[in-house]
Chains A and B, each alone.
Chain A
Amino acid sequence: MDNLMRTPLFQEHINAGGQMVDFGGWAMPLKYSGILEEVEAVRSRAGLFDVSHMGEITVAGPQALSWLDTILTNDIRKLADNQVMYAFMCYPHGGVVDDLLVYRHGLQKFLLVVNAANTQKDWDWLTQHKVPGVVLENISPDMGQLAVQGPLAEEILQKLTPYKLEDIGFFWFASPVEIAGIPALVSRTGYTGEDGFEIYCPAADSVRLWQEIMREGKPLGLLPCGLGARDTLRFEAGLPLYGHEISQEITPLEARLGLFVKLKKQADFIGKAALAALKEKGLPRLLAGLTLVEKGVPRAGYPVYNGEGQEVGYVTSGSFAPTINASVANALVAADCAQEGTNLWIGVRQRRLQARVTKLPFYKREAK
């Protein structure tokens, strides 16, 4: 644990009873009180996450927009100031370098928020493809990032700021916003399937911000939440995780994330030709949601079989999903096995357990 990178909140996690694990080279809390309890807190009240390990890269300059348009799969020309968009960076063959959020400060200034374990790879990829008129900066070490998620997130955070948070719509942000006197960027985004905010602040202020949110949130039932709860929440809500649902070997189209791949946009982005060809030819495999009919817990990597006993794919993420009280999995399977209602079998160690293809996402919060 000693050779791992630490966020500024490392000591806070220890103090709060966090069980620390190695996550992509970072010492991060897997859980505090318990994953089930933490998931329940986020679904019904609120949870606080340290996500300072995430990477932040700024893209500035007169060519920032037109260049990003050639790097990202989504149509970022449609982004307005203070708006956020989800997108992929793809390899020429259509596999994914990373999935990320793009924040538009202005026509010539963007912020990219990338996966912690991919930050260096993404930085190398971006600098390698950079053109004149674009200035890149990796500001990850200077940034703290916290996520407040859950139905009470707004009420809790509102106690710490004069800014009217209800004015920030889903996938919009405000900056700078003073939270407990700390200058921050606040976006209504998250990775849990609940309402909530992600807050970016100077790394040096993140401990105080954590403490202030804990202080205001605790009486309302907010819990500190670890990566275990975060993964369970995102999985239930149908949100992909790099290295599982998408990767260098799995295109966004196979992962059913074509909504974020704009093949009709004008810019010839990296991977466009390959992805268009794949779509034209028909996708050989597709992500399917599986609900276990028998008792057991599916895990990433387990094989999936059809009724004839032939291996037709594998589990990309699997878990007991506490919110719906069922064992469920995402699996990448042959396209003809992905229709809802299809019976498939998951190889859980020595046994083959029956599962049924079900609609994704497994969990969707009720609209307000």
Chain B
Amino acid sequence: MTGEKGLKFTKEHEWLRIEGNRVTVGITDFAQKKLGDIVYVELPELDEEFVEGDAFAVLESVKTAADVYAPVDGIVVEVNDLLEEEPALINTDPFGEGWIAVFEAEGDIDTSGLMDTAAYRQYAEEEE
């Protein structure tokens, strides 16, 4: 589970790996650099239900807290428990070991509002 290939991106600097109705979520390298050293991650519970756009996790860096938003309506089917002991995995390997959770979408996944790698690169550059 590494590398940016085949990922979709949100305007909130999250990456999504969509496989059928399962969506893995993490934050991008751009986002982890902006946040700085992550010192604590507030993770969701397994089977917790979220509506698209709900904050489902909180990343605490030394200086700020950032919400991570649910990419779809659905339930959490996997949580990266490693982050409880090693929150810095989000800094060191944001697209791999630093994944946050996997959602199972309730209905069809609408990808029309998402960016591909090239579009996201440009989006992040403009925000820099």
A residues adjacent to B (C-beta < 8 A): 19, 30-31, 34-37, 228, 231-232, 295-297, 299, 319-320, 322, 327, 349
Interface status of B5 (Cβ within 8 A of chain A): no
Contacts of A31 in B (CB 8 A): 36
- CB-CB under 8 A from A322, the residues of chain B are 39, 62
Cβ-neighbour of A299 out of B36, B42, B65, B84 (below 8 A): B65
Contacts of B62 in A (CB 8 A): 35-36, 228, 232, 319-320, 322
Complex Cα distance A322/B87, Å?
Answer: 14
Q: Report the Cα distance A32→B36, complex, angstroms.
A: 10
Interface residues of B in 28-44 (CB under 8 A from A): 34, 36-37, 39-40, 42
Residue pairs across A and B with Cβ atoms less than 8 A apart, 17 shown, are A30-B36, A31-B36, A34-B37, A35-B36, A35-B37, A35-B63, A36-B39, A37-B37, A228-B62, A232-B63, A296-B42, A296-B60, A299-B65, A319-B63, A320-B40, A320-B60, A327-B40
Residues on B with C-beta less than 8 A from A319 are 62-63
- Asked whether, in the complex, the Cβ of B58 is within 8 Å of the Cβ of A349, the reply is yes
- What distance in Å separates the Cβ of A290 from its nearest Cβ neighbour in chain B? 16
Kindly supply a per-residue 1/0 record for chain B positions 56-82, scoring 1 wherever the CB is within 8 Å of any chain A CB and 0 otherwise.
Answer: 001011110100000000000000000
Q: How long is the Cα–Cα vector from A30 to B62 in the complex, in angstroms?
A: 11
Q: With CB as the reference atom, state the residue of chain B lying closest to A327.
A: B40
The docked-state distance in angstroms from the alpha carbon of A95 to that of B29 is 44
B36:A320 contact, CB within 8 angstroms: no
- Is A297 a contact partner of B65 (Cβ separation < 8 A)? yes
Instruction: From B36, B42, B58, give the contact of A228 (CB < 8 A).
Output: B36
Minimum Cβ distance to chain B for residue A138 (Å)? 30
Residue of B nearest to A292 (CB): B40
Shortest Cβ gap from B56 to chain A (Å): 12
B interface residues with partner A (beta carbon < 8 Å): 34, 36-37, 39-40, 42, 58, 60-63, 65, 84
Distance between Cα atoms of A31 and B40 in the complex (Å): 19
- 4 additional contacts (CB under 8 A) given A228-B63, A299-B65: A35-B37, A35-B62, A320-B39, A320-B40
What's the least CB distance linking A226 to chain B, in Å? Answer: 10
Alpha-carbon distance A65/B84, docked complex (angstroms)? 57
B37 near A297: Cβ-Cβ < 8 Å = no
Give the distance to chain A from B40, nearest Cβ to Cβ, in Å: 5
A86 CA to B58 CA, complexed, in Å? 39
- Distance from A332 Cβ to chain B, minimum over Cβ atoms (Å): 21
Cβ-defined contact, A295 with B63, below 8 A: no
| A residues in contact with B58, CB < 8 Å | 349
Chain A residues within 8 Å of B42, by CB: 296
CB within 8 Å for A30 and B63 given contacts A296-B42, A349-B58: yes
User: Do A297 and B39 touch across chains, with their CB atoms under 8 A apart?
Assistant: yes
Complex Cα distance, B40 from A293, in Å, reads 14
Determine the distance from Cα of A34 to Cα of B35 in the docked complex, in whole angstroms.
Answer: 10
CB nearest to B84 among chain A residues? A295
Q: What's the least CB distance linking B64 to chain A, in Å?
A: 8
Bound form: Cα–Cα A31–B33 in Å: 11
Using CB atoms, name the residue of chain A closest to B42.
A296
Cα(A297)–Cα(B58), bound, Å: 10
Which chain B residue shows the least CB distance to A232?
B62
Cα of A31 to Cα of B37 in the assembled complex, Å:
11
Closest to B88 in A: A36
Q: Is the CB of B36 within 8 A of A296?
A: no
Write the chain B residue with the least CB distance to A37: B37
- Report the minimal beta-carbon distance from A298 to chain B, rounded to whole angstroms: 10
Q: Is the CB of B40 within 8 A of A297?
A: yes
Q: How far is the CB of A29 from chain B (nearest CB, A)?
A: 12
Question: How far does the Cβ of B81 sit from chain A's closest Cβ, in whole Å?
Answer: 13
- B40 near A296 with CB under 8 A, answer yes
4 shortest interchain CB distances as A-B pairs: A320-B39, A297-B60, A35-B62, A36-B37
Give the CA-CA distance A171 to B39 in the complex, in Å: 34
**Nearest chain B CB to A299's CB is how many angstroms away?**
7
Closest B residue to A228 by CB, please name it. B63
Q: Which residues of B contact A320 (CB under 8 A)?
A: 39-40, 60, 62
Residue of B nearest to A227 (CB): B63
Check if A295 sits within 8 Å of B40, measured CB to CB.
yes
Distance in angstroms from B86 CB to nearest chain A CB is 13
Q: Which residues of A contact B40 (CB under 8 A)?
A: 295-297, 320, 327
